[in-house]
């Protein structure tokens, strides 16, 4: 039986080209990350929207206690982030505080970023995660960890360069190595309900090899836990 588009839309799955997910998101706050990926979720289904109520975006992004002025600042920070990036996904992304609406137009040549078949044809990958799961994570650090780990959820493990991983998470630059490791373990512990039994080992590189992290978890029922079934 073919699933209706509305049914798949209701699954709240964000699908975006892996190359986009490899950007540096550390300048964005937790709520700004929620706004960003809510917009990307919408763009997957609607290449154009005009005068859509802000309350709809707040609902998608799971934002409950933010006043309109703060929300406008967060929205504009996301807009600036997207404008500064190399992908240029949207045209005319704007927030109308008086009308309490937002609008955007998807650049036609960026539709490939949301296209499964195109990704396969280009031998590229899509990052896929459930928007409701993502917005339920409170910490920006944990959101950035989640973005990376969810790509490897089915394998149950990941080996990743230590410095690259920490840079992608965005811990304060004032942290020393011990503080980084402590905070990382704390974040992973908080994500245990999404990656059951998650563990991390820090391995020192030999000779010319950089230090790396080996992270593993129980990948049984990962799709159900993370609401990835579509």
* pLDDT tens by residue, 49-106: 999 999 999 999 999 888 999 999 999 999 999 988 777 899 899 999 999 999 999 9
Q: Tell me, what's the pLDDT at 229?
A: 76
Residue 2: the pLDDT is 40
CA distances from 117 to 17, 126, 230 (A): 11, 10, 16
Q: How confident is the model at residue 121 (pLDDT cuts 50, 70, 90)?
A: low
Largest CA distance in the chain: 61
Q: What is the pLDDT of residue 116?
A: 76
Instruction: Return the pLDDT at 136.
Output: 97
Beta strands in the chain (DSSP E): 13-17, 48-53, 90-96, 101-106, 126-130, 157-161, 199-203, 212-216
Record the tokens describing residue 167, joined without a space. 């840079």
**Residue 124 pLDDT class (50, 70, 90 cuts):** confident
Cβ-contact 101, 53 below 8 angstroms:
yes
pLDDT, tens digit (0-9, with 9 covering 90-100), for 150-166: 999 889 999 999 999 99
Alpha helices by DSSP H, listed for 63-218, are: 68-84, 116-121, 131-136, 140-149, 162-169, 177-190
Phi and psi (nearest 5°) for 161?
A: -55, 130
pTM of the full structure: 0.91
* The predicted structure's pLDDT at residue 6: 45
Looking at residue 142, the DSSP 8-state letter turns out to be H
Q: How much is the pLDDT for 230?
A: 56
Q: Note the Cα 71 to chain centre separation in Å.
A: 19
């Amino acid at each position: 039986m073919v699933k209706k588009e509305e049914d798949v839309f209701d699954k709240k799955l964000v699908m975006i080209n892996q190359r986009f997910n490899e950007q540096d998101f550390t300048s964005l706050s937790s709520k700004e990350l929620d706004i960003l990926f809510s917009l990307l979720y919408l763009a997957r289904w609607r290449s154009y929207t005009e005068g859509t109520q802000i309350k709809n975006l707040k609902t998608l992004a799971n934002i409950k206690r933010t006043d309109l002025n703060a929300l406008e600042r967060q929205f504009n920070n996301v807009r600036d982030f997207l404008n500064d990036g190399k992908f240029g996904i949207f045209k005319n992304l704007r927030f109308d505080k008086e009308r309490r609406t937002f609008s955007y137009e998807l650049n036609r040549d960026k539709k490939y970023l949301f296209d499964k078949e195109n990704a396969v044809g280009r031998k590229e990958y899509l990052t896929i995660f459930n928007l409701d799961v993502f917005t339920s994570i409170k910490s920006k650090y944990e959101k950035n960890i989640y973005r990376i780990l969810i790509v490897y959820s089915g394998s149950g493990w990941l080996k990743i360069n230590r410095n690259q991983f920490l840079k992608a998470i965005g811990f304060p630059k004032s942290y020393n190595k011990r503080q980084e490791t402590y905070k990382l373990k704390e974040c992973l512990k908080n994500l245990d309900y999404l990656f059951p039994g998650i563990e991390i080992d820090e391995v020192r590189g030999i000779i010319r090899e950089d230090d790396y992290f080996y992270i593993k978890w129980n990948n049984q029922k990962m799709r159900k836990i993370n609401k990835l079934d579509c």
